Structure 1
Amino acid sequence: MSAPVQSRRRGERLRRAIFEAVFDQLGKVGYARLSMEGVAAAAETGKAALYRRWDSKDELVRDALQELLPEPPQIAESTGLRAGLIELLSYFNSTLFDSKGTAFQAVAAESGTDVAILREVFRSRVTLPCQERITELLHRHLAASGSTMSPQFDAETFAAVGPAMLTYHCINGHDKSTLGEIESIIDKTLLPLIRDGATQPNNDEGSIED
Protein backbone atom coordinates (compact mmCIF):
# COMPACT_ATOMS: atom_id res chain seq x y z
CA MET A 1 0.00 0.00 0.00
CA SER A 2 1.47 3.34 -1.00
CA ALA A 3 2.09 6.09 1.56
CA PRO A 4 -0.47 8.91 1.65
CA VAL A 5 0.46 11.93 -0.42
CA GLN A 6 1.00 15.08 1.65
CA SER A 7 -1.40 17.84 0.67
CA ARG A 8 0.22 20.75 -1.09
CA ARG A 9 0.67 23.78 1.12
CA ARG A 10 -0.44 27.14 -0.19
CA GLY A 11 -0.87 30.70 0.92
CA GLU A 12 -0.24 31.46 4.57
CA ARG A 13 0.69 27.88 5.49
CA LEU A 14 3.45 27.83 2.90
CA ARG A 15 4.62 31.33 3.81
CA ARG A 16 4.86 30.35 7.47
CA ALA A 17 6.78 27.17 6.64
CA ILE A 18 9.25 29.18 4.55
CA PHE A 19 9.82 31.70 7.34
CA GLU A 20 10.37 28.93 9.88
CA ALA A 21 12.88 27.40 7.47
CA VAL A 22 14.71 30.74 7.27
CA PHE A 23 15.26 30.74 11.03
CA ASP A 24 16.26 27.09 10.94
CA GLN A 25 18.88 27.78 8.27
CA LEU A 26 20.20 30.91 9.98
CA GLY A 27 20.82 28.86 13.09
CA LYS A 28 22.50 26.01 11.18
CA VAL A 29 24.59 27.71 8.48
CA GLY A 30 24.59 31.43 9.30
CA TYR A 31 23.59 34.32 7.09
CA ALA A 32 26.52 34.26 4.64
CA ARG A 33 25.94 30.61 3.70
CA LEU A 34 22.15 30.78 3.72
CA SER A 35 20.71 30.19 0.25
CA MET A 36 17.31 30.17 -1.38
CA GLU A 37 17.93 26.52 -2.28
CA GLY A 38 18.67 25.62 1.35
CA VAL A 39 15.57 27.41 2.62
CA ALA A 40 13.41 25.71 -0.01
CA ALA A 41 14.75 22.29 0.98
CA ALA A 42 14.20 22.98 4.70
CA ALA A 43 10.65 24.15 3.96
CA GLU A 44 10.06 21.09 1.77
CA THR A 45 8.98 23.18 -1.19
CA GLY A 46 10.37 24.14 -4.57
CA LYS A 47 12.81 26.99 -5.12
CA ALA A 48 10.32 28.55 -7.55
CA ALA A 49 7.88 29.08 -4.66
CA LEU A 50 10.44 31.37 -3.04
CA TYR A 51 11.37 33.31 -6.16
CA ARG A 52 7.72 34.00 -6.91
CA ARG A 53 7.59 35.94 -3.63
CA TRP A 54 11.12 37.28 -3.05
CA ASP A 55 13.83 38.39 -5.47
CA SER A 56 16.71 37.66 -3.09
CA LYS A 57 17.60 36.05 0.21
CA ASP A 58 17.98 39.54 1.72
CA GLU A 59 14.32 40.30 1.07
CA LEU A 60 13.30 36.87 2.33
CA VAL A 61 15.24 37.10 5.60
CA ARG A 62 14.03 40.66 6.18
CA ASP A 63 10.39 39.62 5.80
CA ALA A 64 10.90 36.56 8.01
CA LEU A 65 12.36 38.72 10.78
CA GLN A 66 9.51 41.21 10.53
CA GLU A 67 6.91 38.45 10.57
CA LEU A 68 8.11 36.07 13.27
CA LEU A 69 10.15 38.05 15.80
CA PRO A 70 7.93 38.46 18.89
CA GLU A 71 6.75 41.84 20.10
CA PRO A 72 7.44 42.92 23.70
CA PRO A 73 4.76 42.17 26.28
CA GLN A 74 2.26 44.71 27.52
CA ILE A 75 2.96 45.39 31.20
CA ALA A 76 -0.13 45.39 33.41
CA GLU A 77 -0.95 48.62 35.22
CA SER A 78 -0.67 46.83 38.56
CA THR A 79 2.89 45.62 37.88
CA GLY A 80 5.64 47.28 39.92
CA LEU A 81 8.61 48.98 38.31
CA ARG A 82 11.17 46.31 39.21
CA ALA A 83 8.84 43.47 38.21
CA GLY A 84 8.02 45.22 34.93
CA LEU A 85 11.71 45.69 34.14
CA ILE A 86 12.33 42.00 34.84
CA GLU A 87 9.50 41.06 32.47
CA LEU A 88 10.71 43.30 29.65
CA LEU A 89 14.40 42.42 29.93
CA SER A 90 13.52 38.71 30.18
CA TYR A 91 11.57 39.07 26.92
CA PHE A 92 14.52 40.78 25.26
CA ASN A 93 16.95 38.18 26.57
CA SER A 94 14.77 35.33 25.31
CA THR A 95 14.40 36.97 21.90
CA LEU A 96 18.18 37.15 21.58
CA PHE A 97 18.80 33.54 22.51
CA ASP A 98 15.75 31.34 22.02
CA SER A 99 14.59 29.79 18.74
CA LYS A 100 14.09 32.99 16.76
CA GLY A 101 17.09 34.56 18.46
CA THR A 102 19.40 32.41 16.36
CA ALA A 103 18.57 34.80 13.54
CA PHE A 104 19.87 37.76 15.50
CA GLN A 105 23.03 35.93 16.51
CA ALA A 106 23.70 34.88 12.91
CA VAL A 107 23.18 38.38 11.58
CA ALA A 108 25.09 40.08 14.42
CA ALA A 109 28.14 37.88 13.80
CA GLU A 110 28.61 39.11 10.23
CA SER A 111 29.25 42.41 8.51
CA GLY A 112 28.20 44.15 5.32
CA THR A 113 25.56 46.55 4.07
CA ASP A 114 22.89 43.88 3.61
CA VAL A 115 23.39 42.52 7.11
CA ALA A 116 23.25 46.05 8.52
CA ILE A 117 19.81 46.42 6.97
CA LEU A 118 18.68 43.21 8.66
CA ARG A 119 20.08 44.39 12.00
CA GLU A 120 17.93 47.47 11.58
CA VAL A 121 14.88 45.21 11.17
CA PHE A 122 15.70 43.57 14.52
CA ARG A 123 16.18 47.00 16.06
CA SER A 124 12.84 48.32 14.79
CA ARG A 125 10.92 45.12 15.57
CA VAL A 126 12.39 44.21 18.97
CA THR A 127 14.85 46.70 20.46
CA LEU A 128 13.00 49.99 19.98
CA PRO A 129 9.57 48.65 21.03
CA CYS A 130 11.14 47.15 24.15
CA GLN A 131 12.78 50.47 24.98
CA GLU A 132 9.47 52.25 24.44
CA ARG A 133 7.75 49.89 26.90
CA ILE A 134 10.51 50.54 29.46
CA THR A 135 10.04 54.30 29.03
CA GLU A 136 6.27 53.96 29.43
CA LEU A 137 6.76 51.83 32.54
CA LEU A 138 9.12 54.39 34.06
CA HIS A 139 6.81 57.35 33.41
CA ARG A 140 3.83 55.44 34.79
CA HIS A 141 5.59 54.70 38.05
CA LEU A 142 7.02 58.17 38.37
CA ALA A 143 3.47 59.50 38.14
CA ALA A 144 2.15 56.91 40.60
CA SER A 145 4.83 57.72 43.18
CA GLY A 146 4.60 61.48 42.69
CA SER A 147 8.30 61.56 41.81
CA THR A 148 10.04 63.73 39.25
CA MET A 149 13.38 63.29 37.51
CA SER A 150 16.17 65.82 37.32
CA PRO A 151 16.57 67.68 34.00
CA GLN A 152 19.82 65.77 33.42
CA PHE A 153 18.02 62.40 33.47
CA ASP A 154 17.28 61.14 29.94
CA ALA A 155 14.50 58.54 30.00
CA GLU A 156 15.25 57.29 26.48
CA THR A 157 18.91 56.71 27.31
CA PHE A 158 17.88 54.95 30.51
CA ALA A 159 15.53 52.68 28.55
CA ALA A 160 18.37 51.68 26.22
CA VAL A 161 20.78 50.58 28.95
CA GLY A 162 19.29 47.18 29.82
CA PRO A 163 18.79 45.98 26.22
CA ALA A 164 22.27 47.27 25.31
CA MET A 165 23.88 45.28 28.14
CA LEU A 166 22.05 42.10 27.12
CA THR A 167 22.93 42.62 23.44
CA TYR A 168 26.61 43.08 24.31
CA HIS A 169 26.46 39.90 26.38
CA CYS A 170 24.98 38.02 23.40
CA ILE A 171 27.26 39.20 20.60
CA ASN A 172 30.36 38.50 22.68
CA GLY A 173 29.57 34.80 22.78
CA HIS A 174 28.16 34.46 26.28
CA ASP A 175 25.37 32.07 27.18
CA LYS A 176 21.83 33.29 27.70
CA SER A 177 21.61 35.54 30.75
CA THR A 178 20.02 33.96 33.80
CA LEU A 179 17.19 35.53 35.76
CA GLY A 180 19.73 36.35 38.47
CA GLU A 181 21.91 38.21 35.98
CA ILE A 182 18.91 40.17 34.70
CA GLU A 183 17.97 41.07 38.27
CA SER A 184 21.56 42.18 38.86
CA ILE A 185 21.38 44.54 35.86
CA ILE A 186 18.20 46.02 37.30
CA ASP A 187 19.28 46.20 40.94
CA LYS A 188 22.87 47.35 40.40
CA THR A 189 22.48 49.58 37.34
CA LEU A 190 18.94 50.60 36.42
CA LEU A 191 17.32 51.24 39.80
CA PRO A 192 20.35 53.18 41.10
CA LEU A 193 20.14 55.40 38.01
CA ILE A 194 16.53 56.17 38.88
CA ARG A 195 17.25 56.75 42.56
CA ASP A 196 20.08 59.13 41.71
CA GLY A 197 17.91 61.13 39.32
CA ALA A 198 14.59 61.10 41.16
CA THR A 199 13.12 63.58 43.60
CA GLN A 200 10.54 61.78 45.72
CA PRO A 201 7.87 63.42 47.90
CA ASN A 202 8.26 63.28 51.68
CA ASN A 203 11.69 61.65 51.33
CA ASP A 204 9.92 58.34 50.69
CA GLU A 205 12.95 56.49 49.40
CA GLY A 206 12.28 53.30 47.48
CA SER A 207 8.61 53.95 46.71
CA ILE A 208 9.40 54.39 43.03
CA GLU A 209 10.56 50.77 42.84
CA ASP A 210 7.34 49.24 44.18
Structure 2
Amino acid sequence: MSDHRTEPRRRGDQLLAAIYDAVLAELTQHGYAAVTMETVAQRARTGKASLYRRWPTRVEMIMDTIYSRLPADDSMIDTGTLRSDLIMLFERFAGELNGPVGVALRGLWAESLDDPEQHARVRGYSRHGGLRLLRSIVERAAARGEIDPAVITDQRLEAGPAILRYRLLLDGRPLDVAGLVDEVVLPLLAGPTVPTGRPVSGSPARP
Protein backbone atom coordinates (compact mmCIF):
# COMPACT_ATOMS: atom_id res chain seq x y z
CA MET A 1 0.00 0.00 0.00
CA SER A 2 1.35 3.40 -0.95
CA ASP A 3 1.99 5.99 1.74
CA HIS A 4 0.76 9.47 0.84
CA ARG A 5 3.74 10.91 2.70
CA THR A 6 6.08 9.56 -0.02
CA GLU A 7 4.00 11.00 -2.88
CA PRO A 8 4.51 14.48 -4.37
CA ARG A 9 2.80 17.03 -2.16
CA ARG A 10 -0.30 18.54 -3.71
CA ARG A 11 -1.12 22.15 -3.07
CA GLY A 12 -3.68 24.77 -3.89
CA ASP A 13 -6.49 23.87 -6.26
CA GLN A 14 -5.22 20.32 -6.81
CA LEU A 15 -5.34 19.52 -3.11
CA LEU A 16 -8.68 21.30 -2.66
CA ALA A 17 -10.22 19.25 -5.49
CA ALA A 18 -8.94 16.04 -3.89
CA ILE A 19 -10.49 17.03 -0.55
CA TYR A 20 -13.84 17.85 -2.15
CA ASP A 21 -13.79 14.52 -3.99
CA ALA A 22 -13.02 12.73 -0.74
CA VAL A 23 -15.92 14.40 1.09
CA LEU A 24 -18.35 13.53 -1.71
CA ALA A 25 -17.10 9.93 -1.81
CA GLU A 26 -17.58 9.53 1.94
CA LEU A 27 -21.09 10.97 1.70
CA THR A 28 -21.99 8.64 -1.17
CA GLN A 29 -20.51 5.46 0.24
CA HIS A 30 -20.95 5.82 3.99
CA GLY A 31 -23.34 8.71 4.72
CA TYR A 32 -23.10 12.00 6.54
CA ALA A 33 -22.01 10.64 9.91
CA ALA A 34 -18.95 9.00 8.34
CA VAL A 35 -17.50 12.31 7.15
CA THR A 36 -14.81 13.27 9.64
CA MET A 37 -11.55 15.14 9.30
CA GLU A 38 -9.73 11.83 9.69
CA THR A 39 -11.66 9.86 7.06
CA VAL A 40 -11.45 12.71 4.56
CA ALA A 41 -7.72 13.19 5.15
CA GLN A 42 -7.11 9.48 4.63
CA ARG A 43 -9.14 9.35 1.44
CA ALA A 44 -7.60 12.55 0.07
CA ARG A 45 -4.11 11.29 1.02
CA THR A 46 -3.24 14.37 3.02
CA GLY A 47 -2.81 15.32 6.65
CA LYS A 48 -5.53 16.53 8.97
CA ALA A 49 -3.53 19.71 9.49
CA SER A 50 -4.17 20.59 5.83
CA LEU A 51 -7.89 20.39 6.49
CA TYR A 52 -7.83 22.38 9.71
CA ARG A 53 -5.86 25.17 8.02
CA ARG A 54 -8.83 25.65 5.69
CA TRP A 55 -11.81 24.81 7.91
CA PRO A 56 -12.12 24.99 11.70
CA THR A 57 -14.77 22.23 11.74
CA ARG A 58 -16.10 19.44 9.56
CA VAL A 59 -19.33 21.43 9.10
CA GLU A 60 -17.54 24.22 7.22
CA MET A 61 -15.63 21.63 5.19
CA ILE A 62 -18.82 19.84 4.17
CA MET A 63 -20.65 23.08 3.36
CA ASP A 64 -17.80 24.34 1.20
CA THR A 65 -17.72 21.00 -0.60
CA ILE A 66 -21.40 20.87 -1.46
CA TYR A 67 -21.48 24.46 -2.68
CA SER A 68 -18.42 23.87 -4.82
CA ARG A 69 -20.84 21.79 -6.89
CA LEU A 70 -22.75 24.88 -8.00
CA PRO A 71 -21.77 26.51 -11.31
CA ALA A 72 -19.02 29.04 -10.73
CA ASP A 73 -21.04 31.78 -12.45
CA ASP A 74 -24.18 32.30 -14.48
CA SER A 75 -22.33 32.20 -17.82
CA MET A 76 -22.59 28.40 -17.66
CA ILE A 77 -26.38 28.79 -17.88
CA ASP A 78 -27.21 31.13 -20.75
CA THR A 79 -29.75 29.81 -23.24
CA GLY A 80 -31.08 33.21 -24.24
CA THR A 81 -34.49 32.91 -22.57
CA LEU A 82 -35.47 33.16 -18.91
CA ARG A 83 -37.65 30.03 -18.91
CA SER A 84 -34.94 27.83 -20.39
CA ASP A 85 -32.30 29.28 -18.07
CA LEU A 86 -34.51 28.64 -15.04
CA ILE A 87 -35.26 25.06 -16.06
CA MET A 88 -31.55 24.39 -16.60
CA LEU A 89 -30.64 25.92 -13.23
CA PHE A 90 -33.35 24.09 -11.27
CA GLU A 91 -32.51 20.80 -13.00
CA ARG A 92 -28.94 21.33 -11.87
CA PHE A 93 -30.10 22.00 -8.31
CA ALA A 94 -32.37 18.94 -8.37
CA GLY A 95 -29.60 16.70 -9.66
CA GLU A 96 -27.30 17.78 -6.84
CA LEU A 97 -29.99 17.41 -4.15
CA ASN A 98 -30.70 13.86 -5.34
CA GLY A 99 -27.05 12.92 -4.75
CA PRO A 100 -24.41 13.38 -2.04
CA VAL A 101 -25.26 17.07 -1.70
CA GLY A 102 -28.74 16.09 -0.51
CA VAL A 103 -27.24 13.58 1.93
CA ALA A 104 -25.03 16.34 3.32
CA LEU A 105 -27.82 18.90 3.66
CA ARG A 106 -30.11 16.47 5.50
CA GLY A 107 -27.30 15.67 7.90
CA LEU A 108 -26.29 19.30 8.38
CA TRP A 109 -29.83 20.41 9.10
CA ALA A 110 -30.53 17.55 11.49
CA GLU A 111 -27.27 18.14 13.34
CA SER A 112 -27.91 21.88 13.64
CA LEU A 113 -31.36 21.65 15.26
CA ASP A 114 -29.90 21.97 18.76
CA ASP A 115 -27.17 24.44 17.77
CA PRO A 116 -28.54 27.88 16.79
CA GLU A 117 -25.13 29.13 15.64
CA GLN A 118 -24.57 26.15 13.35
CA HIS A 119 -28.17 26.36 12.14
CA ALA A 120 -27.60 29.97 11.11
CA ARG A 121 -24.44 29.01 9.21
CA VAL A 122 -26.16 26.14 7.42
CA ARG A 123 -29.15 28.31 6.54
CA GLY A 124 -26.84 31.00 5.20
CA TYR A 125 -24.91 28.53 3.07
CA SER A 126 -28.06 26.87 1.76
CA ARG A 127 -29.51 30.19 0.59
CA HIS A 128 -26.47 32.06 -0.62
CA GLY A 129 -25.04 30.06 -3.50
CA GLY A 130 -28.25 29.15 -5.28
CA LEU A 131 -29.86 32.55 -4.82
CA ARG A 132 -26.77 34.29 -6.15
CA LEU A 133 -27.03 32.35 -9.41
CA LEU A 134 -30.79 32.69 -9.61
CA ARG A 135 -30.64 36.44 -9.07
CA SER A 136 -27.95 36.79 -11.73
CA ILE A 137 -30.03 34.86 -14.27
CA VAL A 138 -33.18 36.85 -13.49
CA GLU A 139 -31.35 40.19 -13.64
CA ARG A 140 -29.92 39.21 -17.02
CA ALA A 141 -33.46 38.49 -18.24
CA ALA A 142 -34.55 41.91 -16.98
CA ALA A 143 -31.71 43.51 -18.94
CA ARG A 144 -33.02 41.74 -22.06
CA GLY A 145 -36.46 43.18 -21.41
CA GLU A 146 -38.16 39.87 -20.53
CA ILE A 147 -39.30 41.03 -17.09
CA ASP A 148 -39.58 44.24 -15.11
CA PRO A 149 -36.55 44.71 -12.79
CA ALA A 150 -38.94 45.93 -10.09
CA VAL A 151 -40.35 42.41 -9.60
CA ILE A 152 -36.98 41.03 -8.51
CA THR A 153 -37.37 40.68 -4.75
CA ASP A 154 -35.89 38.22 -2.27
CA GLN A 155 -39.26 36.64 -1.49
CA ARG A 156 -40.04 35.97 -5.14
CA LEU A 157 -36.59 34.53 -5.76
CA GLU A 158 -36.69 32.32 -2.65
CA ALA A 159 -40.02 30.63 -3.43
CA GLY A 160 -38.79 28.24 -6.12
CA PRO A 161 -35.66 27.01 -4.30
CA ALA A 162 -37.68 26.60 -1.07
CA ILE A 163 -40.19 24.30 -2.80
CA LEU A 164 -37.36 22.40 -4.48
CA ARG A 165 -35.58 21.80 -1.16
CA TYR A 166 -38.79 20.77 0.59
CA ARG A 167 -39.85 18.30 -2.07
CA LEU A 168 -36.46 16.67 -2.58
CA LEU A 169 -35.02 16.78 0.95
CA LEU A 170 -38.06 16.43 3.21
CA ASP A 171 -41.10 15.26 1.26
CA GLY A 172 -39.40 12.77 -1.04
CA ARG A 173 -41.90 13.00 -3.89
CA PRO A 174 -40.65 13.43 -7.48
CA LEU A 175 -40.49 17.01 -8.68
CA ASP A 176 -41.50 18.30 -12.11
CA VAL A 177 -38.89 21.01 -12.63
CA ALA A 178 -40.59 22.51 -15.68
CA GLY A 179 -43.85 22.61 -13.72
CA LEU A 180 -42.14 24.38 -10.82
CA VAL A 181 -40.77 26.99 -13.19
CA ASP A 182 -44.03 27.44 -15.12
CA GLU A 183 -46.43 27.35 -12.17
CA VAL A 184 -44.44 29.13 -9.46
CA VAL A 185 -41.27 30.91 -10.50
CA LEU A 186 -42.33 32.58 -13.75
CA PRO A 187 -45.77 33.71 -12.51
CA LEU A 188 -44.12 35.38 -9.53
CA LEU A 189 -41.65 37.17 -11.78
CA ALA A 190 -44.43 38.22 -14.16
CA GLY A 191 -46.61 39.54 -11.35
CA PRO A 192 -47.31 43.16 -10.50
CA THR A 193 -44.48 45.24 -9.18
CA VAL A 194 -44.44 46.16 -5.51
CA PRO A 195 -45.08 49.90 -5.14
CA THR A 196 -42.87 51.96 -2.89
CA GLY A 197 -44.62 52.55 0.42
CA ARG A 198 -47.16 49.81 -0.25
CA PRO A 199 -50.02 49.61 2.27
CA VAL A 200 -50.02 47.09 5.07
CA SER A 201 -51.44 43.77 3.92
CA GLY A 202 -55.22 43.83 4.11
CA SER A 203 -55.60 47.60 3.97
CA PRO A 204 -56.97 49.25 0.82
CA ALA A 205 -54.53 50.82 -1.57
CA ARG A 206 -54.88 54.54 -2.11
CA PRO A 207 -55.91 55.60 -5.64
How far apart in 2 are the matches of 1:155 and 1:42? Answer: 43
SS in 1 for 2:31: helix
How far apart in 1 are the matches of 2:18 and 2:140? Answer: 36
1:183 aligns with 2:183: no
Matched residue type, 2:25: D
In structure 2, the CA distance between the partners of 1:21 and 1:116, relative to structure 1 (3 Å rule), is: farther
In structure 2, the CA distance between the partners of 1:104 and 1:73, relative to structure 1 (3 Å rule), is: farther
Equivalence for 2:187 = 192
How far apart in 2 are the matches of 1:194 and 1:50? Answer: 42
> Shift of the alpha carbon at 1:55?
4.0
How far apart in 2 are the matches of 1:128 and 1:161? Answer: 10
Matched residue type, 2:138: T
How far apart in 2 are the matches of 1:130 and 1:11? Answer: 29
How far apart in 1 are the matches of 2:135 and 2:35? Answer: 32
Matched residue type, 1:35: T
TM-score, normalised to structure 1, is 0.67
How far apart in 1 are the matches of 2:94 and 2:41? Answer: 30
Equivalence for 1:96 = 97
SS in 1 for 2:59: helix
**Deviation digits for residues 30-56 of structure 1, max 9, x if unmatched?**
1x5532222222223343443455443
> Shift of the alpha carbon at 1:128?
1.9
Equivalence for 1:206 = none
How far apart in 2 are the matches of 1:148 and 1:121? Answer: 28
1:159 corresponds, among 157, 160, 170, to: 157
> Shift of the alpha carbon at 1:136?
1.0
How far apart in 1 are the matches of 2:165 and 2:11? Answer: 35
* Structure 2 unaligned regions, length at least 5: 194-207
2:31 corresponds, among 29, 36, 41, to: 29
Is the 2:97–2:169 Cα contact (8 Å) retained in structure 1? no
How far apart in 2 are the matches of 1:39 and 1:3? Answer: 17
How far apart in 2 are the matches of 1:188 and 1:59? Answer: 35
In structure 2, the CA distance between the partners of 1:36 and 1:87, relative to structure 1 (3 Å rule), is: same
SS in 2 for 1:172: helix
TM-score, normalised to structure 2, is 0.68
Equivalence for 1:39 = 40
> Shift of the alpha carbon at 1:84?
2.0
Equivalence for 1:10 = 10
In structure 2, the CA distance between the partners of 1:4 and 1:24, relative to structure 1 (3 Å rule), is: closer
- Quick one: percent identity of the two aligned structures? 30
Query: In angstroms, what is the RMSD of aligned CA positions?
Result: 3.5
1:118 aligns with 2:122: yes
**Deviation digits for residues 144-170 of structure 1, max 9, x if unmatched?**
5xx758x8x554322222111101112
Equivalence for 2:88 = 87
Is the 1:36–1:47 Cα contact (8 Å) retained in structure 2? yes
* Number of corresponding residues: 186
In structure 2, the CA distance between the partners of 1:122 and 1:192, relative to structure 1 (3 Å rule), is: closer
Equivalence for 1:131 = 134
How far apart in 2 are the matches of 1:93 and 1:64? Answer: 17
Is the 1:84–1:137 Cα contact (8 Å) retained in structure 2? no
